[in-house]
Structure 1
Amino acid sequence: MDFSKNKYEDIRISVPWGHISGRWYGNRNRRPILALHGWMDNLGTWDLLIPHLPKHIGILAIDFPGHGQSSHYPQGMQYHVIEYVTVVMHIIKKYNWKKVSLMGHSMGCVVIYIYTALYPSTVDLIVNFDVVKQAFRKADSEIKRLQGSLIQRSNDITELENKSEPKSYEYKTLEYIIHKGSGYSVDVNNSKYLLCRSIIESQISPKKYYFSKDKRLKYYEPFTATYELTLELNKRIKNIPYFLVRGLKSLFLNEDSSEVLKILRKNNPHFEYYEIDGTHHLHMNNAEEVCKHLNPFLSRHYSAEFNSCLIDANNNINAKSKL
């Protein structure tokens, strides 16, 4: 099942534990924007947005390890958002990019935030949907999360050793599971764009399917930083064209992010923030509305005339054609 109507080339990038699966959409004659999906999603998350983007833009969308059609980590390993930062670094090295343009949703935005704060001189453009950073957690709730997570991991080790086929469902039920599992953020009718890369037909139950994503993803480790460290990291993100849009029906950008947004605005004259009606998956459900704001930003900072942009000491955009 492939519901994408966009032109693309399938990409497979070798890594020590297997491969990273991806698709390069659109323009192949210039460095693309690297697109990073959210937790438990996959690169299908971009299929509804891409048709509305300017035609000169290429998008290299990947499935993070454990998601979509990318390899799972070996047994005994655990998923951590920091490891996804190293995946970005691996792709940059693979294509020998001197700069990278990044687009993310949800967890993908957190990966972008960490990478950009650590290596700001290598990033020339950011597009983020509904998240800036990892949410802060109170100490007592974080302790309870770690306790439950460690118990579940130990239980899953035993279950994985049995290697039995996971529970399977009818396709219509899977659509609702995606809808409900996203906190009712993904429209039921759009669930198929995520399902097409995350289910396998059952060999036991005819006409039923099971989820192929790694079960250990449920207990992945987020990037937990102190308030002080978060602010210092954000101060390092300067003078980079930065687009952020929030869905008004989502709670991911709230007062918890207010100080971070203040710093980004202060340090970055090329920071643009918008709010539109929509849920956390606004880039899927409201793609056309999102692009009313996004496309003018891309026209200014990722034009058809050049491959990269540099910002001088006076905060002026200078075109420079290079990888």
Structure 2
Amino acid sequence: MPPRAAPNQAGQTGRASAKTTSRATARGKKKAPPKEVVVEEVVEQIAPPMRVFCVIAHPEPNRRSFCHAIYRKCIETLKLNSHEVITSDLYDSDFTQLPSLSDFDDPDKELSYAEHQRRGQYNEEILRYQSRIEWCTHLILFTPLHWLSPCAALMGWWEKVFGEGWAFAPNQQFEKGYMAGKKAMVVVTCGQDQMYYGKDAINISVEELMYPLTYRCFAMCGFTPLRTQTFFGLSTADPQARVDMLNAWAEHVMNLESREVIEFLSAEQLQQQGGHMMESNKQTNRKILAGLGDKVLIVPKDPYAINFD
């Protein structure tokens, strides 16, 4: 039998070489490291709950006024949105007396009312109000418009509670005031229609009428003053209009933290003479208010369509 032919050496070697090269090439090609996957963690910034002190001054004895209705709606809405709320009805708590020396412990008839306030020896009731104001982040005052002014009981409350030495001092006013970091606003109910207030009307705007509160009280003590909320035409508003206003008001309460601020002159912008504010400052601030007009939610339709039957 003829000898079996030897395998093709070259062929075997070629195949082995090809395999070796292929493996070597495969080994030589290092795998690219996996790309780092960056996972962006989106953390929702949840604002801390507001601490709101709501104060109402309205003489309606049975609390059926629309001012009481928006007061209750505000409280209800804030609580439903997990904010902390404390309240005070000045007429219900009988805190309507005029300022007197009975506002202080151990009064001295030889001292003036202002001197007693500077001493800080307030009675227990006033101290309780002051502690609530220190606690809150937002102060909301509810008042009817009486004689183009806030309710007298509300202004009396302010005069008694916000005394010099506690709320402000000669060198602790506006941005440096003791209430700095807090926000405050006033909510006003008005029987007349909006047509009677503002530019070219018989009265200036309600925002301008609230100047003694928003500037001389809020801003001077350090509060950031928020735009006044006014409800017009309540003498003629039908039940549905009132419901619509309440619902619109609830929406605004939910956005209280982002409510528009009244940009008065800052302490650095004030021109003073002999330690007193010059008239030019007052005129500038009032022009700021006049330019804003009134903040209104819903104006009742046909304010004169009254059914007397």
Please, what TM-score do these two structures have when normalized by structure 2? 0.33
Larger Rg: 2
